[in-house]
Amino acid sequence: MTLPTPSLSDVGDRGFIPGIRAVGKFGGASDGEFGLPPGGLEYQLFVEAGSYSSEGTPATELDYFLGVQPGTLAALSSMSIAHGSAVQRTFTAEAGDVVMFEWNFLTDSRSPDYADYDQQADDDFAFVRVTPGAITKLADTKAAAIPSSHSFNHETGYRVFHYAISQSGTYTLTLGVVDAGEYRGACALLIRDLQVRPATAQTP
């Protein structure tokens, strides 16, 4: 089963993608917008926690969206969460299938190890959850060490996420970003080539 990367025509003016639920700020973006090679894919999903509270959703609402207890996301950061954004997709899979996608975390913030002039710092991060599993941090500002050639200051570069399905059933994949600490800098997550690879297609 393949969950296709949305095209800009799917996204539309209001950022709506069929089959995807979302809170906060998200939409579609072409690889060219970020100075990246196409990699055989024309478009990718873009989830952002902007510089202002209007460009995201409060942490308590994100917890509710994820179906977890209040404070669960906050426990993943050393600083208070200002706001964030997330997207969800529900799918069915068989035991042995593997959920896969490529992701890139981008940020304008600086890590807690490099506080700015007013002694404030950031701990922005990206996360993933495959329900009923736990929330996992994909990356934070410390991991975004590569200078970017586009509108963000740093990025992690593309990495691949794998999740093995242990039992056949219905699952929900949630991906998101949060702005934590001093929140004048934006952060975002790029996602592409999202798929559920059948167990029969796995390399021995």
Q: Tell me if 60 is assigned to some domain.
A: yes
Residues 6+ apart with CB under 8 A from 120: 181, 182
Q: Tell me if 3 is assigned to some domain.
A: no
Q: Tell me if 84 is assigned to some domain.
A: yes
Q: What is the CATH number of the domain that holds 54?
A: 2.60.120
Q: Tell me if 76 is assigned to some domain.
A: yes
Q: Tell me if 35 is assigned to some domain.
A: yes
Q: Tell me if 2 is assigned to some domain.
A: no
In order along its 204 residues, the chain shows pLDDT tens digits of: 444 444 433 433 333 455 778 888 877 765 556 555 445 555 678 888 866 555 678 888 888 888 888 888 888 887 778 788 999 888 888 999 999 888 999 988 765 445 443 345 567 899 999 998 899 999 988 888 888 776 788 889 889 999 999 999 999 999 999 988 765 678 899 888 888 888 776 554
Q: For residue 27, give its domain range.
A: 8-201
Indicate the burial class of 103 (C-beta count within 10 angstroms; 0-12, 13-18, 19 or more): buried
Number of domains in the chain: 1
Sign of torsion over alpha carbons 58, 59, 60, 63: positive
Indicate the burial class of 79 (C-beta count within 10 angstroms; 0-12, 13-18, 19 or more): middle
Q: Tell me if 12 is assigned to some domain.
A: yes
Q: Tell me if 185 is assigned to some domain.
A: yes
pLDDT for the residue numbered 37? 44
Q: Are strands 146-147 and 43-49 parallel, antiparallel or unpaired?
A: unpaired
CA torsion 202-134-138-65 (nearest 10°) is 110
- Which amino acid appears at position 52 of this protein? Y
